[in-house]
Amino acid sequence: MSINRAEKICWKKCWILNYVLAFLLFTIWCFSMMWRWHPVVVYACKEQRSDVLILSPWLAPIVWNGTYNSVILNAQFHQRNVRVGITVFATKKYTIFVQNFIDTAEKYFMVGHKVTYYVFTDRVSDIPAIDLREGRHLVVLQVPTYQRWQDVSMRRMEMIRHTSQERFINEVDYLVCVDVDMIFSDEIGVEILSNLVGTLHPGMFSVPRESCTYERNPQSEAYIPTDDGDFYYAGGFFGGTIEEIYKLTNFCHNAMMADQAKNIEAIWHDESYLNKYLLYHKPTKILSPEYLWDDDFGRPDYLKRRRFLAVRKNHYQIRNRR
Ligand code: 4GW
Ligand code: MN
């Protein structure tokens, strides 16, 4: 064999060795990256979601099961010693919902955190004494009765606004404002807390905006044109800091009063005004329909948890006069 040929073979071997080495290094790098990435993601969130929208176009998180880690969040909020208020209205026959509402909230709502229930009612003596866990309190507040049920629902905004200045601002950091004809059936924790929070309406989820039941009368303060709107929020679950809740309820109440003066009432009452407000004051966090579900809408695949459920009510019995 000539020296030339031997040299050529040697070079060839060197090249092959280089390729093998490069491949080996690349594989090691890949494994090291996986090792670094894998435990972090698995530790932070056991499950990821690719089947639903988890971020709004203005970068507000949309809270679904699998998008957050409660251990991390609980530690954060404990560090801040956060106090959470939850408001419900129970006037006339709706007082019958209070016991179950609070009993189930004791089991599932903000467990381990400071909670104050604010029950607004016209029948104070109907509100039962309920055993609460440590760090949790019940405040019963007397409110007037309104004859029309639409007013019962709408006046909640005025009463929350009033109490925000009078009490909430001194007593709690965040407020969660919900319907009373509900039960908690799975965990709801600090993952829902943020400056301004809206909840996607279970019946209007994935409906194109032109089909959403926003108020379409241009004369109304709740008016939203057909080519506007992003999400449709439920009237039965909103929240935020006291300052933000004050602004929200102040807008809604004033808009309702302005409409009333024009003899107008928005199609879905307080919910319509809430949607108007949240369209132009974007929420900083959005709750998925896990947080406000009604079994009348079935059990779609995307719904991994039903945390807060509408109680089926006998409309005739519960809603007739007195
Ligand atoms: C019809 O006769 C009524 S009465 C419709 C609502 C009524 C009502 C509502 C009431 O008599 N007392 C009361 O406290 N409410 C509050 O308004 C209660 O907190 C309830 O969850 C909220 C909204 O009414 P709703 O739950 O009956 O509305 P939907 O069926 O839309 O969830
Ligand atoms: Mn309701």
Q: For residue 187, what is the domain's CATH number?
A: 3.90.550.10
Together in a domain, 101 and 211: yes
Q: Is residue 295 part of a domain?
A: yes
Considering the domain architecture, whether residues 140 and 5 belong to the same structural domain is answered as no
Q: Give the Å distance between the CA of 149 and the centre of ligand 1.
A: 7
Q: Model-level pTM greater than 0.85?
A: yes
**CA-to-CA distance for 164 and 171, rounded, in angstroms?**
10
- In this structure, the answer to whether residues 129 and 31 fall within a common structural domain is no
Task: Return the axis-axis angle of helices 149-163 and 242-261, rounded to nearest 10°.
Answer: 140
Domain that holds residue 23: 1-37
Who's near 269: CB < 8 A, 6+ residues apart? 150, 153, 154, 235
DSSP state letter for 207 = -
Same domain, 13 and 153: no
Note the pLDDT of residue 16: 82
Find the mean pLDDT for residues 64-80: 98
Q: Which residue is it, tokens 């991390």? A: 72
Q: pLDDT tens digits for 215-257? A: 999 999 999 999 999 999 999 999 999 999 999 999 999 999 9
Q: Are residues 33 and 102 in the same domain?
A: no
Residues 27 and 60 in one domain: no
Q: Looking at the structure, do residues 61 and 14 belong to the same domain, yes or no?
A: no
CA 318 – CA 96 distance, rounded (Å): 9
Mean local confidence (pLDDT), 103-111:
98
Do residues 121 and 59 both lie within one domain?
yes
Minimum CA distance residue for ligand 1 atom 24: 153
10 and 126 share one domain = no
Q: Ligand 1 atom closest to Cα of 93?
A: 11
Rounded Cα–Cα distance for residues 322 and 315 (Å): 13
6 or 27, higher pLDDT: 27
Which residues, listed in sequence order, are joined to residue 120 by a DSSP beta bridge? 89, 141
**C-alpha pair distances (Å), 53 with each of 61, 188, 205, 231:** 9, 20, 11, 12
Tell me what pLDDT residue 207 has.
Answer: 92
> What's the whole-number mean pLDDT along residues 62-72?
97
pLDDT at position 55 over 90: yes
**Contact yes or no for 113/135 (Cβ under 8 A):** yes
DSSP symbol at 293: B
Q: Radius of gyration of the chain from Cα atoms? A: 27
Q: Is residue 82 part of a domain?
A: yes
Q: How far is CA 109 from CA 84, 87, 169, 277, 283, in A?
A: 10, 13, 21, 26, 21
Distance in angstroms (rounded) separating the CA atoms of residues 10 and 4: 10
> Tell me, what's the pLDDT at 99?
98
- Sign of the torsion angle spanned by Cα atoms 279, 285, 290, 291: negative
Q: Which ligand 1 atom sits nearest the alpha carbon of residue 156? A: 17
pLDDT tens-digit series, residues 268-282: 999 999 999 999 999
Q: Which of 10-14, 134-138, 142-146, 291-295 has the lowest mean pLDDT?
A: 10-14
Per-residue pLDDT, averaged over 90-113, amounts to 98
Mean pLDDT score of the chain, rounded to an integer?
A: 92
Q: Return the higher-pLDDT residue of 45 and 175.
A: 175
pLDDT at 101: 98
Question: What are the structure tokens assigned to 262, written together?
Answer: 């024009």
pLDDT above 70 covers what percent of the chain? 89
The confidence score (pLDDT) of residue 26 equals: 79
Which pLDDT belongs to residue 13?
76
**124-131: long-range contacts at Cβ-Cβ below 8 A with a sequence spacing of 24 or more?**
126/95, 126/98, 127/90, 127/95, 127/98, 128/98, 128/99, 130/99, 130/102, 130/103, 130/106
Q: Where are the alpha helices (DSSP H) in the chain?
A: 3-44, 70-79, 98-108, 149-163, 169-171, 242-261, 270-280, 315-319
Residue 60 C-alpha to ligand 1 middle, in angstroms?
30
- Taking the CA of 149 as reference, the closest ligand is 1
Pick the ligand that lies closest to the CA of residue 270.
1
Q: Is 265 a catalytic residue?
A: no
Question: Do 54 and 159 have their domain in common?
Answer: yes
User: With 80 as the cut, is the pLDDT of residue 319 above it?
Assistant: no
Examine the domain organization and report whether 127 and 187 are in the same domain: yes
pLDDT at residue 18 greater than cutoff 80: yes
DSSP structural state of residue 152: H
- What is the per-residue pLDDT for 199? 98
Is the model more confident about 27 or about 91? 91
Q: For residue 10, is it within any domain?
A: yes
Distance CA 274, CA 232 (A): 10
Nearest CA to ligand 1 atom 1: 319
Residue whose Cα lies nearest atom 20 of ligand 1: it is 179
Domain shared by 16 and 101, yes or no: no
Q: Is the dihedral of CA 203, 208, 209, 215 positive or negative?
A: negative
Cβ atoms of residues 286 and 61 within 8 Å: yes
pLDDT at 40 over 60: no
Centroid of ligand 2 to alpha carbon of 182 (angstroms): 7
Whether pLDDT at 45 is above 70: no
Order the strands of the 114-121 sheet from edge to edge: 62-63, 285-287, 196-200, 233-241, 174-178, 83-89, 114-121, 136-142
* Res 84: pLDDT: 98
Total of domains in the chain: 2
Question: Which residues' Cβ are closer than 6 Å to ligand 1?
Answer: 88-92, 94, 149, 152-153, 179-181, 236, 319
44 within some domain: no
